[in-house]
Chain A
Amino acid sequence: MLDLYNVKKTFNLGTINEKQALSGIDFYLKEGDFVTVIGGNGAGKSTMLNAIAGVWPIDEGSISIEGVNVTALPEHKRAKYIGRVFQDPMMGTAADMGIEENLALAIRRGKSRTLRWGITKEERERFHEDLKILGLGLEDRMTSKVGLLSGGQRQALTLLMATIQKPKLLLLDEHTAALDPKTAANVLELSDKIVAEHNLTTMMITHNMSDAIHHGNRIIMMNQGKIILDISGEEKKKLTKADLLQKFSEVAGVSEETDEILLS
């Protein structure tokens, strides 16, 4: 379903800040897979998701989604296939526009923007029902500006926006990292619920190892622009935090104490 072949990306090539962020990623994701992505700061996790979403072109390799080679497609054209939630709650919504207006923009993801009215009556009714699922009471304030919402509310809304038109691929980049623990747990639970309900193929970056272990059916670990660990199925179910730390030191060849620092 998602196919990355030898994907490479170097930032600031030829300058003193040159940084190879992806050094040849090969990665295949099955339809319906929910993979969690872990790794230290700067390992290249966000860069991999950005490469898939088409934020900038990659230097080498190819990316295809459901057999369609998207390597040369700009971000707005790939949006047809991809729903995204970012780490920063401000990033996924338009603050000066209403809740229903944001949803109306999202339900047209990947469609051409015509001169038809921007939101229909049927859509409003649907949004009302969908917002109820979030359990935040947003269905009663659909015309409120999104800028008035809290970080957690905005993140839940972004999640709904990313999935209201079923994406082939859902990309979550530390989407609960900026929230307080309780809100983070709620948004994460909501993510699980939505992913399960629509059987969405999902990649979720997290810096929380137990979240990575307890969600999804597959886990990958990145280090220095490479995938250094890939565990799925039964093995993933039995995985513990200690296992992960140990595997990391085996593969990356560093002591377990540094891993704690890197991965926590």
Chain B
Amino acid sequence: MNVLAYFASLDPMNFMGAIPGNVAQGLIWGIMALGVFITFRLLDFPDLTVDGSLATGGAVTVVLILAGIPSPLAIAVAVLAGVLAGLVTGLLHTALGIPGILAGILTQISLWSINLIILDGANKAVNVDKYSLIVSLRNVTESIIMVLIFAGIIISILYWYFGTEQGSAIRATGCNPNMSKAQGINIDNMKVLALCISNGLVALSGGLMAQYQGFADIKMGQGAIVIGLAAVIIGDVLGEAIFRKGMNFSIRLTFVVFGGIIYYLVIGLVMWLRMPTNMLKFLTAVIVAIFLAVPYLREKRKNSFATKSKREGQKNA
């Protein structure tokens, strides 16, 4: 009767009650996922800088707010810090020839030290009673509205930017670097630019997250890349299921943010079911691995020796 007792102990109201908070957090992660979308999907560059630049964004924001700087300005500086992090990864890769993944890891590791210095320790709290913050878990509804406005503005800007000559050149670089060079595109510059934009967004998300939770922590970016990928993938799958071929670029971007929300709702569900939270990152990794593998395996099934030999076998029988 343990099972019954377990289910009886679950209060649906608890789950419902947690939804607004999960939506707020999911939205903030969704902004970070937009950054991951730019590198991973558009540039075809798996950028691991983000685990570091997310915490940098949080750290810079909190420290500046504590120093008496208005929170919007603090966030703006945090974005610049993220852009700088992206610039470093970009230059490591393009100017110094370091492979993309390694370039990101190097920046990420160095940001760990830099973030410790910025925070002057492992974490720092910012009290919403003493400072005026853009978002806070004390005012979940207002926070959701605020982040929605942020997300809306960012999606509009990205939609515009990737439709311009420059944004198109970035997309072409990610899609076919050889063709891009032949069309006179400086692909090194485009990669650096995309990494800057991406990490700027990630730092912005970190700045919002730190305000929302009321502190910045050196570990707040750990596994961020995987959560970002999860959001991107969930968004893609969902968007395609609903809109099929009709999914245009703005819908794609919107669904990346949705992906973040859904990821956090699932996390909320897992917590509500009192599953061991230690396994959260493991589960996330498994889910991302599955979703990344599915398109590959589907393609392979259509086009493999194993399937071929099966078909031949049927023919010969």
Write the residues of chain A forming the contact surface with B, with a CB cutoff of 8 angstroms.
53, 75-77, 79-80, 82, 84, 86, 91-97, 101, 104-106, 108-111, 113-119, 161
- How many chain B residues sit at the interface, stated as a range, is 20 to 34
6 A/B residue pairs, CB under 8 Å, sorted by A: A77-B184, A94-B171, A95-B176, A113-B185, A116-B164, A118-B167
Residue of B169, B184, B187 with most chain A CB atoms under a 10 A cut-off: B184
Residues of A within 8 Å of B163, CB to CB, are: 117-118
- The dominant DSSP class at the A interface is loop
> By the criterion CB–CB under 8 Å, are B181 and A118 in contact?
no
Q: Out of A91, A114, A118, name the residue touching B176 (CB < 8 Å).
A: A91
Does B181 lie within 8 Å of A94, measured CB to CB?
no
Contacts of A95 in B (CB 8 A): 175-176
Structural contact, B169 and A113, CB atoms closer than 8 A: yes
B184 touches A76 (CB 8 A): yes
Question: Does the CB pair A93–B179 fall under 8 Å?
Answer: yes
Q: Indicate the member of A76, A77, A95, A116 with the most B CB atoms within 10 Å.
A: A76
Given contacts A104-B168, A118-B163, whether A111 and B175 have CB atoms under 8 Å apart is: no
Nearest chain B residue, comparing its CB with the CB of A82:
B182
Q: Does B166 contact A (CB under 8 A)?
A: yes
Closest CB of chain A to B194's CB: distance in Å?
13
Tell me which of B164, B179, B186 contacts A118 (CB under 8 A): B164
- Which residue of B168, B169, B182, B187 is within 8 Å of A84 (Cβ)? B182
Min C-beta distance of B268 to chain A, whole Å? 34
Q: With A and B bound together, what is the CA distance between A117 and B186 in angstroms? A: 19
Contacts of A105 in B (CB 8 A): 168-169, 172, 180, 183, 185
Q: Within the assembled complex, what's the spacing in Å between the Cα atoms of A23 and B169?
A: 36
Q: A106-B183, A113-B185 are in contact. Are A97 and B166 (CB under 8 A)?
A: no
Alpha-carbon separation in the docked complex, A106 to B161 (Å): 19
Interface pair A76/B187, CB less than 8 Å apart: yes
B147-205 contacts to A (CB < 8 Å): 161, 163-169, 171-172, 175-176, 178-187
The answer to whether B179 touches A94 (Cβ under 8 A) is yes
Q: Which 10 A-B pairs have the closest CB atoms?
A: A79-B184, A118-B168, A94-B175, A113-B165, A113-B169, A110-B184, A113-B166, A94-B176, A109-B184, A75-B181
Residues of B bordering A, CB below 8 Å:
161, 163-169, 171-172, 175-176, 178-187
| Complex CA–CA separation, A64 to B182 (angstroms) | 18
* Distance in Å: Cβ of A78 to nearest Cβ of chain B: 8
Bound Cα distance A106, B171 (Å): 14
Beyond A91-B176, A91-B179, A95-B176, whether A114 also contacts B186 by CB under 8 A is no
- Tell me how far the C-beta of A47 lies from the nearest C-beta in chain B, rounded to whole angstroms: 16
Interchain CB contact (< 8 A) of B182 among A92, A111, A114, A117: A92
Chain A residues in 8 Å Cβ range of B186: 76
Contact A108 B179 (CB under 8 A): no
CB distance from A56 to the nearest CB of B (A): 11
CB-contact partner of B165 in A86, A91, A96, A114, under 8 A: A114
A93 to B178, CA, bound (A): 9
Q: Is the CB–CB distance between B165 and A115 below 8 Å?
A: yes
Q: Say whether A116 contacts B165, CB under 8 Å.
A: yes
Q: Is the CB of B182 within 8 A of A97?
A: no
* Chain B nearest Cβ from A93, distance in angstroms: 6
Provide the bound-state CA to CA distance between A94 and B182, in Å: 12
Residues of B within 8 A of A92 (CB): 179, 182
| B41 to chain A: closest residue by CB | A96
**Interchain CA distance A82-B166 in the complex, whole Å:** 21
The answer to whether A93 touches B184 (Cβ under 8 A) is: no
Q: Which residues of A contact B182 (CB under 8 A)?
A: 53, 75, 79, 82, 84, 92
- Please name the residue on chain A nearest to B185 by beta carbon: A76
- For residue A144, give the distance in angstroms from its CB to the closest CB of chain B: 10
Is B165 a contact of A101 with CB atoms below 8 Å?
Answer: no
Q: In the assembled complex, how far is the CB of residue B192 from the closest CB belonging to chain A, in whole angstroms?
A: 14
Q: How far is the CA of A78 from the CA of B312 in the complex (A)?
A: 51
Nearest chain-B residue to A143 (Cβ)? Answer: B248
Q: How far is the CB of A178 from chain B (nearest CB, A)?
A: 15
Once the chains are docked, how many angstroms separate the CA of A118 from the CA of B163?
A: 6
CA gap between A126 and B163 in the complex, in Å: 19
Closest to B161 in A: A115
The interface centre, meaning the residue of A53, A82, A105 with most chain B CB atoms within 10 A of its CB, is A105
Give me 20 other A-B pairs in contact (C-beta within 8 A), A91-B179, A94-B175, A118-B168 excluded.
A79-B182, A80-B184, A91-B176, A91-B178, A94-B172, A94-B176, A96-B175, A97-B168, A105-B168, A105-B183, A108-B184, A111-B184, A113-B185, A114-B164, A114-B165, A115-B165, A116-B165, A117-B165, A118-B165, A119-B168
Asked if residues A108 and B172 are in contact (CB atoms below 8 Å), the reply is no
- A5 to B180 CA separation, bound complex (whole angstroms): 28
Query: In the bound complex, how far is the Cα of B87 from the Cα of A124, in angstroms?
Result: 35
Query: How distant is the Cα of A111 from the Cα of B183 in the complex, in angstroms?
Result: 9
